[in-house]
């Protein structure tokens, strides 16, 4: 007896939701926003190279300027990196509100009978202070529990970002500050992001920062006291 082994089709697919919260305010105009656009393409290419990421990663883009807009969670295979433009203020609170809303409504939670989605990864990239009321959204973000509680990673670009604001949103060990912002450094951060997503997808949803180096001049907030 030497029967072929059929594939086991059907059933649940556990997703790794990845939220990209990208600042598209006026200060990002020019080379920074072009670097972000290239970074998005790079993330897409690198994730498509990994079969496990292809299977699990679902991406949602939340761009924020004077208002915040969300592209729904999309399987990686159907994701098309958009071309972002930069204009307006920094409505970070609205973006975080969208993140919380999507996590509450779109994620499959764990139950006694079955596993739900993996804990989401949320990457925040901003170069300025929020212009709206963001405290309520941060509070709601911290109220999320179980596999709904996202792993937040925040990158502050330039000198206009307050480290204390980012520390309110993400764990200090997941807050990074980039003083000298260039196209290359932003692209390098996106490379780090894609590597971390792949590592997490392969680690069964447990956030695993990649071995890729962060861009030169980027410091982790937990390396020192907060700078105000």
Partner 1 sequence: MSRQDDPYAAGQGPAPYQRRASAQHVAVRDQAPLRIAAAQSSAYPSKAEPGGIADLIWYGTCALLGLACVGTLGIWLWRFINGQVNSTKLTILVLVVLIYALCAGCGWLWARARSAPIEEALQKQATSLQGQVEGLQQQVEYLTRENMNLQQTIRQQSNSPRTDPSQSAITARRAQASAAPLPPIAAPIPAPAPVIPDTSIYEQQREPDDASDLTLHPHEKRFPAANEPNVLDYNWRVIGASRRGYGHGYEGKYREDDFQIKILNNQAVGPALALVAIADGVSSKGLSRKGALASVEGASAITEQQVAPLKTLLFRNSSQDEIRNAAANILLEALHGAADAVTRAARTARVSIDDLHATLLVFLAVPLGPEQVFLASVQVGDGAIFGVRAGSNGGEPPYARWKQLLAPQIQAAGNEVQPFMRSQERDWYQYMQFDTLSPIAGIMAMTDGIADDVEPPLPTPGTPEPDHFSMVDRFYQTYVLPTLQASRPADELVRFIGYRRSQSIDDRTLVYLYHK
Stretch 42-71 residues interacting with partner 1 (CB under 8 A): 45, 48-52, 54-56, 64, 67-71
Min dist. Cβ of residue 82 to partner 1 (A):
6
Task: Based on the shown chain and the rule CB under 8 A, indicate whether residue 144 belongs to the binding site for partner 1.
Answer: no
To partner 1, the closest distance from the beta carbon of 197 in angstroms equals 15
Q: Which stretch binds partner 1 (CB under 8 A): 139-147, 162-170, 175-183, 220-228?
A: 139-147
* Residue 87 sits in the site that holds partner 1 (CB under 8 A): yes
From the list 26, 37, 183, 222, which residue makes contact with partner 1 (rule: CB under 8 A)? 37
Binding of partner 1 by 83 (CB under 8 A)? yes
Q: Shortest Cβ distance from residue 203 to partner 1 (Å)?
A: 8
Q: Which CB, 146 or 217, lies closer to partner 1?
A: 146
Distance CA 24, CA 182 (A): 16
Under the binding rule (CB under 8 A), the answer on residue 5 touching partner 1 is: yes
Which residues inside 89-128 make contact with partner 1, applying CB under 8 A?
Answer: 91, 94-95, 97-98, 101-102, 108, 110-119
**Interface with partner 1 includes 213 (CB under 8 A)?**
no
217 binds partner 1 (CB under 8 A): no
Does residue 38 belong to the site contacting partner 1 (CB under 8 A)? yes
Residue 209: left (phi > 0), alpha (psi -120 to 50), or beta?
A: beta
CB-CB contact of 126 with 161 (8 Å): yes
d(CA 153, CA 14): 22
Should residue 143 be labelled a site residue for partner 1 when binding is judged by CB under 8 A?
no
Q: Which of residues 153-212 bind partner 1 (CB under 8 A)?
A: 202, 204-206
Decide: is 7 part of the binding site for partner 1 (CB under 8 A).
yes
CA-to-CA distance for 90 and 126, rounded, in angstroms? 8
């Amino acid at each position: 007896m030497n029967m072929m082994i059929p594939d086991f089709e059907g059933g649940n697919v556990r997703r790794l939701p990845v939220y990209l919260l990208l600042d598209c305010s006026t200060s990002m105009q020019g080379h920074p926003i072009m670097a972000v656009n290239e970074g998005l393409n790079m993330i897409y290419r690198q994730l498509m190279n990994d079969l496990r990421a292809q299977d699990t990663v679902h991406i949602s883009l939340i761009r924020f300027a004077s208002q915040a807009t969300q592209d729904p969670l999309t399987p990686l295979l159907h994701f098309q990196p958009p071309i972002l433009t930069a204009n307006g203020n920094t409505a970070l609170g609205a973006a975080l509100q969208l993140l919380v809303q999507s996590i509450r409504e779109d994620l499959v939670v764990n139950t006694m009978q079955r596993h739900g989605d993996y804990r989401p990864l949320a990457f925040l990239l901003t170069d300025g202070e929020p212009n709206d009321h963001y405290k309520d959204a941060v509070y709601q973000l911290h109220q999320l529990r179980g596999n709904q509680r996202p792993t937040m990673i925040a990158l502050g670009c330039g000198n206009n970002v307050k480290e204390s604001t980012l520390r309110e949103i993400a764990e200090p060990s997941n807050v990074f500050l980039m003083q000298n912002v260039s196209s290359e450094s932003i692209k390098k951060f996106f490379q780090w992001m894609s590597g971390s997503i792949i590592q997490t997808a392969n680690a069964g949803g447990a956030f695993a920062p990649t071995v890729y180096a962060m861009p030169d001049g980027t410091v982790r907030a937990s390396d020192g006291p907060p700078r105000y």
